[in-house]
Amino acid sequence: MSKLSFVFDFFLNREIKEYLFTIPGVIDVNIHHRTLMIEYDNQKLSDYILRMEVFLFLDIFKRPSLISFDKHANKELLSYCMKITDICCEYCLKGMLDELFLTNGVISAFMEYDDIVENDKCDAVINITYDPSIINEKMLTILESKFNTK
């Protein structure tokens, strides 16, 4: 059994929970305001497929809305603090979180999204945990440089 958590920039409703229970392999779904936590059988589903199902149901493929995620890995992880400077817009910042989710080896990413938006900040820090057997700090540094040149 595996867990996957998403935090979005909007409040979730019960319909997503009902939909997810129709997918073979989904064991439990919890919603708390903007947070969605899914327990699933990783022999039947991958975190990538679950992301696709959630994004499809919420119709957010063309409108980045992810502000945090956690794949809840049960292994030793390392941390990396990614500094993003001169953010042009919320859309780009949330797109970066989605790209991090799709990056193999990145297990979680969190940012103080509400603080960034409410205080109209131009810089952000994304706290990342990663599996060092899949991705290393140098690769994350390259990704950070890519994000800072967008």
Residue 41 confidence (pLDDT) above 90:
yes
Residue 51 within a domain: yes
Q: What domain range includes position 52?
A: 2-63
Judgement on whether residues 53 and 88 belong to the same structural domain of the protein = no
CATH number of the domain within which 90 lies: 3.30.70.100
Mean pLDDT of the residues in the chain = 91
Please indicate, yes or no, whether residues 83 and 140 belong to a single structural domain of this protein.
Answer: yes
Give me the amino acid identity at 119: N
Are both 101 and 144 inside the same structural domain?
yes
Same domain for 91 and 54: no
User: Does 91 share its domain with 134?
Assistant: yes
Question: Can you give the pLDDT at residue 150?
Answer: 61
What's this model's pTM, rounded to 2 decimal places? 0.90
- pLDDT tens digit string along 75-128? 999 999 999 887 777 778 888 999 999 999 999 999 887 676 666 667 788 999
Q: Which of 28-37, 55-64, 83-92, 105-114 has the lowest mean pLDDT?
A: 83-92
Quick one: pLDDT at residue 119? Answer: 63
Q: Does residue 73 lie within any of the structural domains?
A: no
CATH number at residue 37: 3.30.1360.40
Question: Are residues 131 and 92 part of one domain?
Answer: yes
CB atoms within 10 A of CB 16: 18
* Residue 127 is assigned to a structural domain of this protein: yes
Number of domains, the chain: 2
CA dist 87 to 94, 101, 102, 122, 134, Å?
A: 11, 19, 21, 5, 28
Q: Report if residue 71 sits inside a domain.
A: no
pLDDT at 120: 64
Domain end (from 63, 87, 102)? 63
